[in-house]
Structure 1
Amino acid sequence: MVSSKLQRAFESFDAYNSNDPHQEVVNGKSYPKEYLYGVRMTERLNAYAPDANEHVQLAARCQHIGRWEIPRNSFPMDRKGYLQWRSRLALHHARIASTILATCGYDEEMIEKVKFLLQKKELHQHHPETQLLEDVVCLVFIEFYLADFAQQHEDDKVVDILKKTIKKMSSNALNVATTISMSPKISQLVARALN
């Protein structure tokens, strides 16, 4: 059961993300891209870890909040520039989320927990909740964004990205990934990455 405070936060995140000028069409209906991403994150988290703590639920919903406000091309288009962009985005998401959560009546402790997750802290130290959020991120990427990414890039590049994605996932998430419906082409690329 979703608390009224959590529902209010979700609605506030969604309202902010509804300002995304980038659109994605699903079943003939157009949605703001980051609004749709937030909903997909919540749906995947609910399926993958239905008992997730409230701060994990909050972090999942606002994972990409305001992402369009810092375009990728505002940083050098190389690996270093990509990492700088991702670091800046993490701080940007945390700042927006903090303001919204405070407005929704969350205390500083809860806000700090959400910021911790949005900044992917202790991911490589296997922090269980950071890992949980990363699992959901990877599963949402595979389910909804991988096919489009694969159309825009050479197979070897896709396999390289998949290898990096797989490295970030827990064994449980990898098992769940095998149940996601994929085209024969995507399945072949995933198999290459796994080998």
Structure 2
Amino acid sequence: MNQHQYDRIMAAIDDAHACDPRQDKASDTPYELAYARRMSEWLERVAPDADAELRVAARAQHFRRWESPREDYPMTRPGYHAWRTDLQKRQASLVAELLSEEGVTADEIGRISALILKQNIKTNPEMQALEDTIALAFLDHYVEAFAEEHDDDKLGRILARTWAKMSAHGHQLAGTLTFSPRLSRIMAEALPAAD
């Protein structure tokens, strides 16, 4: 992918995210546009040498996500997993269509799609960098509001699962963040000792 293609693709992703009717209160911008920008900011810290494909995958993680609301699926654990699986497939397909329109090669589209689909997390260093980026964006911008909706036990389990998906580098970056006293206590109890 050349620089012109990359710039057009990132602009198209942002244009799509700007259509999200929900607003991010902290930034006063469309919710998914704020999320996409935060993903790119965290990727710069996680993998400053990331190539264009990884940067596109990070920016497009929630591509047009609001069009497939969680409420359309049963409010159960299997319903949640079905929603997430369908969502990833839909997002990968929509992004692949956008990339194809921009003349991106089939190999590049395949790499970006695999990242959006979260394939080979434990064997693909790019996927691990993306997983760290997702976790860090969550911990930095969303976990406090998320914590208000869950009791300590459930929150501890969710945080432990998030932590287990991260690399040692991701853990180090997470150590630079500041949390509320409640969240700090839950994390200290739920997470393993520092790497």
TM-score for the superposition, normalised by structure 1: 0.93
- Aligned partner of 2:152 in structure 1 is 155
1:181 shift after superposition: 2.2
TM-superposed CA distance for 1:103, in Å, is 2.2
Describe the superposition over 1:118-151 as per-residue Cα deviations: whole angstroms up to 9, x where unpaired.
001112x432111111110001110001000001
Of 88, 91, 104, the match for 1:90: 88
**How far apart in 2 are the matches of 1:5 and 1:42?**
17
Task: Report the AA paired with residue 149 of structure 1.
Answer: F
Match of 1:45 in 2: 43
Q: Any idea what the Cα deviations from partners look like across 1:30-62, whole Å, max 9, x if unmatched?
A: 211111111100010012211012111110000
How many residues end up aligned between the 2 structures? 191
Report how far residue 185 of structure 1 moved: 2.1
Q: Say yes or no: does 1:141 pair with 2:149.
A: no
User: Which blocks of at least 5 consecutive residues in structure 2 are unaligned?
Assistant: none
Once residues 66 and 51 of structure 1 are traced to their aligned partners in structure 2, the CA distance between those partners, rounded to angstroms, is 27
- The code of the aligned residue for 1:157 comes to K
**2:28 paired residue number:** 30
Choose which of 184, 190, 194 in structure 2 pairs with 1:193.
Answer: 190
The one-letter code matched in structure 1 to 2:100 is A
Partner of 2:20: 20
Aligned twin of 2:163? 166
Gaps of at least 5 residues in structure 1 are: none
Alignment TM-score, normalising by the size of structure 2: 0.93
Residue type at the aligned position of 2:55: Q
Residue 67 of structure 1 corresponds to: 65
Q: Aligned equivalents of 2:14 and 2:21: distance in 1? A: 14
Match in the other structure for 1:5: 5
CA distance in 1, matches of 2:125, 2:41: 20
**Counterparts of 1:192 and 1:64, CA distance in 2:** 31
Equivalent residues of 2:46, 2:129 under 8 A apart = no
Tell me how far apart the structure 1 counterparts of residues 69 and 150 of structure 2 sit (CA, whole Å).
Answer: 20
Partner in structure 2 of residue 182 of structure 1: 179
**Alpha-carbon contact 2:159-2:187 (below 8 Å) kept:** yes
Q: How far apart, CA to CA, are the structure 1 residues paired with 2:130 and 2:85?
A: 17
SS at match of 1:120: coil
Distance in 2, matches of 1:3 and 1:151, equals: 42
RMSD of aligned residue pairs (Cα, Å): 1.4
